[in-house]
Amino acid sequence: MRAGIGYDSHRFADGRRLVLGGVPIPHEHGLAGHSDADAVAHAITDALLGAAGLGDIGAHFPPTDERWRDADSIRLLEQAVGLLSERGFSPVNVDVTVVCEAPKIGPHVPAMRARLARALGVEPDAVSVKGKSNEGMGWIGRGEGIAAMAVALVDEG
């Protein structure tokens, strides 16, 4: 078994949809980014790549690559799972914390777990998603964006 950690953040932007963990979430802003800016999917992708010693999301899916413009980040996650699989690694479980003042993450957790589990090839009970506020502090507290942290365990089969 090997563990990896991932972190991502994106700033809020007008005129964008908010997508977290592959799930569209009704909110007054979306997140700025080259892809759909799904910070949850990106943090998990980095955690998986890290666990397998395969570098990071920027190396595999560079923001200069037009293929990933407005991309569904679940596709990036699935490709990362494929890269791991080619090297004999399979995801065991992931745990994610999403930090933002709004929107409320809790109501969307079951849909995110189901969507992420499908992409990872694990059961939903092997995917944990938790929402936290930042108690009004700093850039997150001012509602400037969203951060996500993820830990992934992979099995070297």
Distance, CA of 54 to chain centre: 17
The stretch near Mg ion (CB under 5 A) out of 41-49, 88-96, 110-118, 149-157 is 41-49
Rg, Å, the chain Cα set: 15
8 binds Mg ion (CB under 5 A): yes
Closest by CA to 89, choosing from 135, 154, 7, 31, is 154
Closest by CA to 152, choosing from 17, 33, 53, is 53
Q: How far is the CB of 91 from Mg ion (least distance, A)?
A: 19
The stretch near Mg ion (CB under 5 A) out of 1-9, 59-67, 94-102, 136-144 is 1-9
Owner of token pair 């799904």:
38
42 binds Mg ion (CB under 5 A): yes
Q: How far is the CB of 114 from Mg ion (least distance, A)?
A: 22
Q: How far is the CB of 27 from Mg ion (least distance, A)?
A: 17
The whole-angstrom separation of Cα 65 and Cα 71 is 11
Q: Which residues are near Mg ion by CB under 5 A?
A: 8, 42
